[in-house]
Chain A
C-alpha cells in the first residue's frame, strides 16, 4: 500500500487535483488558478489524509455565533432532544481560534459584516461555514427593495459550504446540514484555507 506518494506520478482518488511541480515558467503568467495550485501540498499522504478528514468531520467544533432567531434553534440542536454531541459536534467554542466551523445563525446586519469577516479570518484552517436560515442565504424575510440594514446573504462576505434553508430551520434541518458538511469533509473538502 502506497502511503507516501510523490505528486507528479500519481493521481489521487480523492478530489484533490494534481499538483505540478516542475514547470516554473508558467508562474510568469498571472494565472490565478495556477497560483492556487502552486501552494497546494506537493506531497499527498493519501490514506492518512483520508483518516484525518474522517477525524475532522466527526469532531467539528462550531463557533458560538448566534445572531438572531436561528440562534435559538441552533441552541436547541445542542440541547437535550436533538443533541449535537452524538455526532461529535456539540463542543461549541466561544473563541474563533478554537473553532472549525462557523454556523452563521441569523440575519447579518451591515454593522456586523466586518465583525464576521474578522472572526472568519481568526479561525484557523481547515475551516468551514454553514449558512443557517433564510437570512444568511439571501436576506430571507428581510430582503426588499430599499433594505439598507442587512447583508443579503453570508456568501457575500465569506465562502459558505452548506446552506440550510428555513425561517428558522427546524433543528433536524440544521442537523442534516451538519451531516452534509461531514459528508463533504469526508469526501476530501479541506475547507477554504489551504490556499490563500
Chain B
C-alpha cells in the first residue's frame, strides 16, 4: 500500500476512535482480540491482545512425563494435529536417537501430508467465507471430510490425533487405506480445478486479495517468518527441504513461492500449489511403502533423555514448528518450549495492518492462517 499518511495515533483527535475486534468475532479464527485505532475506515495502529486461548501446555509438560504429553501435542494446533503429534514423537526420538522403521516413516509422511491438505482446505473455506463467499466453504469441508474419513479409519480420530508413539506409529495401515488414499489423490487433482474456477479466477476474490496485506521480505529477518507467509514473499524455504526429517529427503517435491511481493493473493496461490505438492509426495510414498514393522524394536520403557537441550523443527501447515526441550535426565522435562509459527505471524500485525482499511484487516488475518491456541499455547 503506497500510503504516506502520518500514522501517529492521537487520542485527543475526535476524528479517531478505538475499535475492539474480538475475542468473539467470526473472522478472527478463534479467540484473538485486536485493539484497532481507526480514523474512519483506515487503521492507524493495531495491538493484538492474546491469551484468551491459553491452556498452559508448557506448564502441563513440566508436570507430566514425556509420554503423558502426547495428547497435548495434537491440541496445540488442532488443524495440523497429526503433524504436531508426529513432530513431538520425532522430537523425542531425535533426543533419544531412536531409529524409526521405514514403514512407519512412510506412513507418518502420508498421514502428515494428508493432514496438510485438510488444513489448507479448511483455510480456503474459512478465508473465502470471511471475504463473503459462502460456497467454497461447503466444497472445502466436503473434501476435507473425505480426508478425515481416511485418517479416521486408522487412528480413530477426526481432528486431534494421538497416532504417533515414540519409535513408530500405533496401528498399521492396510491395503484399503492405501487404495483410498490413492483414490483421493486422483479425485482431488481434478477437484482442484473447480476451486481455481470458483475462487482463484473469481474477480471479487482477486480484488479483495491483490495488493492487500503485503508482508514483504524486509520483515522476514526481523520476525523469523516461515511457512506460506514466507514463501509468498518470494523466499523458497521449507523445513522439509532445509533440514529433512523423518524420510522427507528421498521425496521429490517443489517449494512454491509467490511472485507478487507477498500479498494475500500470493499466500493463496502458495497454499493451493502446496496441496498439489503434498499429493505428489503422497503418491511417491504410496509407491515406495515397504513391508516391515511399524515400531522400533527397542523403545526404552522410561523416556529419559540425557541432561541438555534438544531442538527439533518440522514444517507444519502454518510454518516452522519447533520443540525446544530441556531435560535434566529425569522423567519430566525441565522446560518444553513450543515455538509456533502463528505466534510469529500475529506479532507482525502491528506492522502490517496500519494503513490498511478495516475490511482488509479481515483479509490479512485470514490469509496468514492463524490458529489461536497455537499462539497462546
Contact = CB atoms under 8 A, between A and B. Distances in A.
Q: Do chains A and B touch in the complex (CB under 8 A)?
A: yes
Contacts of B81: 69
Contacts of B141: 75-76, 79-81
B71 interface: yes
Interface string B1-32: 00000000000000000000001111000110
Overall SS of chain B's interface: helix
Nearest to B146: A81
Interface string B107-122: 0000000000000001
Interface in B56-72: 56, 59-60, 63-64, 71-72
B373 A81 contact: no
A112 interface: yes
B56 A150 contact: yes
B246 to A, nearest CB: 24
Interface string A146-176: 1111100000000000000001101000000
Contacts of B23: 112, 115
Interface string A36-78: 0000000000000000000000000000111111011101100
A76 B147 CA distance: 13
Interface residues of B, number: 38
A142 B60 contact: yes
Nearest to B68: A144
Contact of B52 (A71, A109, A119, A142): A109
Contacts of B97: none
A146 B63 contact: yes
Given A65-B24, A115-B23, A144 B53 contact: no
A112 to B, nearest CB: 5
B52 A141 contact: no
Contacts of A71: 30
B54 interface: yes
Interface string A97-113: 00000000011010110
A146 B144 CA distance: 37
B184 interface: no
Nearest to B72: A141
A83 to B, nearest CB: 9
A17 interface: no
B242 to A, nearest CB: 30
Contact of A149 (B55, B79, B138, B159): B55
A94 interface: yes
A94 B72 contact: no
A156 B297 CA distance: 47
A119 B78 contact: no
Contacts of B144: 76
Contacts of B72: 141
A144 B64 CA distance: 10
A48 to B, nearest CB: 34
B284 to A, nearest CB: 29
A109 B372 CA distance: 12
B158 A73 contact: yes
A119 B144 CA distance: 31
A75 B78 CA distance: 14
Given A111-B51, A168-B159, A146 B71 contact: no
Given A111-B51, A142-B56, A67 B160 contact: no
8 closest pairs, A vs B, by CB? A79-B141, A69-B78, A149-B56, A94-B26, A80-B138, A80-B142, A112-B52, A81-B145
19 contacts: A64-B24, A67-B30, A69-B160, A69-B373, A71-B30, A73-B159, A75-B141, A79-B138, A80-B138, A80-B141, A81-B141, A94-B26, A109-B31, A112-B52, A141-B71, A142-B60, A144-B63, A149-B59, A168-B158
Given A75-B141, A107-B55, A170-B158, 16 more contacts: A67-B30, A69-B75, A69-B160, A69-B373, A71-B30, A79-B142, A80-B139, A109-B31, A109-B52, A111-B51, A112-B31, A115-B24, A119-B24, A144-B63, A148-B56, A148-B59
